[in-house]
Amino acid sequence: MTAPIAPDVRTLPRRAAPEADPRPNLIGLTRAELRAALIAAGTPEGQARMRTGQLWQWLYHWGVRDFAQMTNLAKEYRAFLAANFRIALPEVVVRQVSADGTRKYLLRIEGGHEVETVYIPEEDRGTLCVSSQVGCTLTCSFCHTGTQRLVRNLTAAEIVGQVMVARDDLGEWPVPGAPKDETRLLSNLVLMGMGEPLYNFEAVRDAMQIVMDGEGLSLSRRRITLSTSGVVPEIARTAAEIGCLLAVSFHATTDAVRDTLVPINRKWNIATLLGALRDYPRLSNSERITFEYVMLKGVNDSDEDARRLVRLIAGIPAKINLIPFNPWPGAPYERSDWARIEAFADIIYKAGYASPIRTPRGEDIMAACGQLKSETERARRVRAPAD
Ligand code: SAH
Ligand code: SF4
């Protein structure tokens, strides 16, 4: 079956460039920032708390984008808001749907840059894989994003915006008066798209605070997983200031191999990383850490590696996600054979750990783990001579 691919909407007429609009964007402000922005624009201090709560619900509970629809606010106040602020989200440039139902969105953000977001429907959940940067400063040798140099960090608005545009596409905002729907299409969020979330800590934290807020998008911190390549100094802070579940891109069992696969290991090696991970469940009051392990043929997939992995993580409440390598054009690795992956999984399982093998999703649209890469860099280079 071939993947039904939505028309490339690049050919559609563009809206005015959002950067031409000087009004501050309300999306992505924390409650405290929203309140301060309302006061700075002239809202009386005594009203600001109530107005913040009302706006919050319109933006993040109902998904309303037009001040005129905020019917519990006086007409004059709606006009005041429209004159002083805007409600701006990333623009969906291309939407692709895989044969397996995975959806990939190419989003355009301010400055004309592009990032990708992926929605993965499963039987018991729907997971949105969110990006935190355009490109990545790190250069993990098996990762497509790692071949694109960092263009910039995403703002909190652009991170929350990914959740909001996915909800738009899934048609999932509540309808006033309709019975409450307890089953959510977008029920889980993973920070596993493009970029290293812990190199963009503040924006990721603020965005997650907004996503977790019970009067808005209301995703529980236990349904959010942040994946890091191992930015050790930010791990305790993640526990304290976000408190979500943590996944770590482990991928090797010796420093020599991890140094080549995940080069940040040269800064914070396996022993240092494990030290920080040992403290995380207690600090964040969460149950277990997910160890991500990409299966690369002949590189990190031996029985010895599996046994070493078990010894290394002893004492850490853990689950090991085995990710069959997802190829990309020019990648210097091959996926381990299926029998090898199963043998590796078996050793870990017998040692008492859950060791699910991640079925690649959305491979036909290059949406699987590690396949995301936007054209931002190339597009800039192509355009450069005309600039
Ligand atoms: N930068 C963060 C989060 C994004 S990557 C991090 O590195 O943790 C999400 C997961 O996919 C990581 O575990 C990453 O190592 C893995 N990954 C990257 N490239 C891959 C590929 N080609 N095949 C399979 N998994 C890959
Ligand atoms: Fe960056 Fe993560 Fe890819 Fe490494 S695996 S290059 S940290 S996105």
Please give the C-alpha separations between residue 12 and each of 7, 8, 31, 165, 191, in angstroms, as whole numbers: 10, 8, 35, 18, 30
What are the tokens at 159?
């991170």
* Confidence label for 310 from pLDDT (cuts 50, 70 and 90): very high
pTM, full prediction: 0.91
- By annotation, the residues acting in catalysis are 116, 369
C-beta 155 within 6 A of ligand 1: no
> Which ligand gives the minimal distance to the CA of 325?
1
Average model confidence (pLDDT) for the chain? 90
Q: According to CATH, where is 1.10.150 located in the chain?
A: 31-84
Ligand 1 nearest atom to the CA of residue 328, by list position: 22
Instruction: Count CB-CB contacts under 10 A for residue 258.
Output: 22
C-beta 369 within 6 A of ligand 2: no
C-beta 290 within 6 A of ligand 1: no
The alpha carbon torsion through 148, 152, 157, 163 (nearest 10 deg) reads 10
| Residue 382 scores a pLDDT above 70 | no
Residue 183: Cβ-neighbour burial (10 angstroms; 0-12, 13-18, 19+) = exposed
The CATH code that applies to domain 31-84 is: 1.10.150
The pLDDT of residue 110 is 92
Residue 357 near residue 324, CB atoms below 8 Å: yes
Q: What is the average pLDDT across 183-188?
A: 91
Consecutive H or E run containing 292 = strand 289-295
| Residue 175 scores a pLDDT above 90 | no
What are the tokens at 170?
């899934």
Q: Going by CA atoms, what residue is nearest to atom 4 of ligand 2?
A: 140
Most ligand 2 atoms within 8 A of CB, residue of 143, 154, 227, 258 to mutate: 143
Q: How far is the CA of 169 from the centre of ligand 1 (A)?
A: 25
Q: What is the average pLDDT across 326-344?
A: 95
Predicted confidence (pLDDT) per residue in 256-292, tens digit:
999 999 999 999 999 999 999 999 987 787 779 999 9
Q: Please give the CATH topology (third level) of the domain spanning 91-383.
A: TIM Barrel (3.20.20)
Please give the C-alpha separations between residue 205 and each of 199, 227, 247, in angstroms, as whole numbers: 11, 13, 16
C-beta 323 within 6 A of ligand 1: yes
Q: What is the average pLDDT across 356-372?
A: 86
| Residue 378 scores a pLDDT above 50 | no
Q: From CA 242, how far away is CA 232, in angstroms rounded?
A: 15
pLDDT-wise least confident of 80-89, 122-131, 282-291, 317-326? 282-291
Residue 125: Cβ-neighbour burial (10 angstroms; 0-12, 13-18, 19+) = middle
Predicted confidence (pLDDT) per residue in 8-30, tens digit:
433 334 444 555 789 999 999 99
The Cβ-side half-sphere exposure at 168, using a 13 Å CA radius, reads 16
The Cβ-side half-sphere exposure at 313, using a 13 Å CA radius, reads 27
Instruction: Count CB-CB contacts under 10 A for residue 82.
Output: 15
Ligand 2 nearest atom to the CA of residue 136, by list position: 1
Most ligand 2 atoms within 8 A of CB, residue of 131, 138, 261, 369 to mutate: 138
C-beta 146 within 6 A of ligand 2: yes
| Residue 380 scores a pLDDT above 50 | no
pLDDT-wise least confident of 23-27, 176-180, 240-244? 176-180
C-beta 227 within 6 A of ligand 2: no
- The β-bridge partners of 95 are 105
129 phi-psi bin (left φ>0, alpha ψ -120 to 50, beta other): beta
The pLDDT of residue 117 is 96
Q: Going by CA atoms, what residue is nearest to atom 15 of ligand 1?
A: 249
Segments in 247-302 forming alpha helices (H):
255-261, 270-284
| Residue 5 scores a pLDDT above 60 | no
Q: From CA 284, how far away is CA 240, in angstroms rounded?
A: 6
